[in-house]
Amino acid sequence: MKLKPTKRHDSVEFKLEAVQQVVLHHQRVIDIARSLAVDASTLRKWIRQ
């Protein structure tokens, strides 16, 4: 029996910090996403929100 991957629930603080690293510190989305182990498209979605 295969286990379903569990859905990640990141805190608001975690998301805000990730967005700030991109927006305020002018770092690349892909670099921040990799360092935080999140998908780049997820980080882009957080930025749009």
Give residue 44's domain range: 12-48
The whole model's pTM is what?
0.80
In a domain, 41, yes or no: yes
For 1-49, how does the pLDDT look when each residue is reduced to its tens digit (9 = 90+)? 677 777 778 899 999 999 999 999 999 999 999 999 999 999 999 999 9
Q: Which residue has the tokens 């629930």?
A: 9
Cα 5 to chain centroid distance, Å, stands at 18
Q: Which residues are CB-neighbours of 43 under 8 A, at least 6 positions away?
A: 18, 19, 22, 29, 32, 33, 36
In a domain, 33, yes or no: yes
In a domain, 39, yes or no: yes
Residue type, 42: T
In a domain, 23, yes or no: yes
Phi, psi dihedrals of residue 22, rounded to the nearest 5°? -80, -50
In a domain, 4, yes or no: no
Residue 1 pLDDT: 65
In a domain, 2, yes or no: no
> What is the tally of structural domains in the chain?
1
